[in-house]
Amino acid sequence: MTLWDKGGPVDAAIVRFCTGNDPELDAVLIPFDVAGSIAHVRMLGRLRLLTAREVARLRRELTAIRALHEAGRFSIRPEDEDVHTAIERRLTERLGDTGRRVHTGRSRNDQVLTALRLYGRETLLDVTEAALALGASAARFAARHARTPMPGYTHTRRAMPSSFGFWAGAFAEAIVDDVAGLRAAWDLLDQSPLGAAAGFGTLLPLDRAFTARLLGFSRVQRNAQHVQNSRGKIEAAVLAACTQPLATAHRMAVDLIWYSTPEFGFVRLPDRFCTGSSLMPNKRNPDVLELIRAACPAVCADEFRIKSLLAGLPSGYNRDLQLTKEPFLRGLRSSRDALAIAARVLDGVEVDAARARAACTPEIFATDAALEAARQGVPFRSAYRAAAATLASLAASDPAANIARKRHVGAPGNLDLRTTRAALGAQGRWVRSTRARIARAMRNL
């Protein structure tokens, strides 16, 4: 029986269409819906809408559902529609009228929002950890190759002397900025929607601050209609934040795909990271890098799908919002997995220092020749033209010595990895402390 059943017949095809693939999607939400339900039950007990015995029985059965889920023995049936119905069905089967009281003062609207916020809050921490792991990997790579020369490129053409340390350090510092965006998105998730009901509150004196504390939220999302209007909007903002570290990984993957080609030969991917062709025995394909490259546009598409679904919706809950769930869950999962594997790949990349050094051909020192003349008093524009006129006769220079001379802040000879590592470490401490705070709340439910 559906939660909205009023006793009259409903076309089965309509029900199947409206249910969609929620029974499959909602499997990951089971422990989070259980947590929200326990908090709601405890709050109803404080209001004396449930007796102490009823609260104890409901908590015991909800905890058992979570254990069954962890053992792979709790399923959401197609006729259940969603996780919320499946859990209430189980409670009613086990506890009778006590199970039927669990939904007092609650709507599926604030119930699903609560489960999605709890899931999103936890999974976004996973994404942040994976991004920080990529940043740490990039910093390690930069330290190992701080003085290993390579050409720097603009417009895909050799430009000026650079180093692998400089290249990797750029990605480490990018992750610092990217994680700042993830933290801002996490803060949007860290507000409790529970108690907003269908978007208009209830006549019951719900203690929303109490349930927020139980679930480890930092605050209550107050206006009940805003709670409903924020569904999809916050999910899209979260995915937008995820696309930033994915964009960093995307560019890194593009570079490594090119640098690992036989034509470049600057780096090598270990055999354990490469796949092959079903037809061509000679192939060592960088499929893993290509899929990392693809993750960013894929999550951008999930973000855009959510935003597109919101277009033209009036205030309050609309069933269109059901379709924001799948891209949100998929986008978070894709972000976490792609960033985690990107860090693993970068840790295994091998540099061919001799090949990269040989690519530092004389013309990439032209800018330095012009600047050296300017240092001697020649107007820079004249020095620029003179260097351009003598490109063919430029002598090769030592690229390692060249990059070592460039010591201003942010130059190849001054990577300042200590500052970058400190920033990554501070973000890592925030993740760990936040996880611990949430874990304490969940244990005390």
The DSSP call for residue 322 is: G
Q: Are 369 and 408 in contact (CB under 8 A)?
A: no
In one-letter notation, the amino acid at residue 423 is: A
Q: 277, 315, 382, 433: which is the annotated catalytic residue?
A: 277
Of 227, 214, 196, 189, the residue nearest 39 (C-alpha) = 214
b/e 246-273 (16+ beta carbons within 10 angstroms → b): bbbbbebbebbbbbbeeebebbbbeeeb
Q: Report residue 46 as tokens.
A: 């404080």
| Residue 423, φ and ψ in degrees, nearest 5 | -65, -40
Q: How far is C-alpha 429 from the chain's CA centre?
A: 18
Instruction: Show Cβ contacts of residue 96 under 8 Å, excluding neighbours closer than 6 positions.
Output: none
146: helix, coil or strand? coil
Strand partners, 151: 161
Q: 75, 103, 145, 155: which is the annotated catalytic residue?
A: 155
Q: How many CB atoms lie within 10 A of CB 103?
A: 17
**What is the dihedral sign for C-alpha 117, 121, 124, 130?**
negative
> Any idea which residue has 């390579």 for tokens?
150
Q: Are 187 and 216 in contact (CB under 8 A)?
A: no
In one-letter notation, the amino acid at residue 413 is: G
Q: How many CB atoms lie within 10 A of CB 156?
A: 7
277 in active site? yes
Alpha-carbon distance 301 to 7, whole Å? 41
Q: Report residue 324 as tokens.
A: 């924001």
393 in active site? no
Q: How many CB atoms lie within 10 A of CB 354?
A: 9
Alpha-carbon distance 190 to 335, whole Å? 19
Q: Are strands 157-163 and 149-154 parallel, antiparallel or unpaired?
A: antiparallel
129: helix, coil or strand? helix
List active site positions.
155, 277
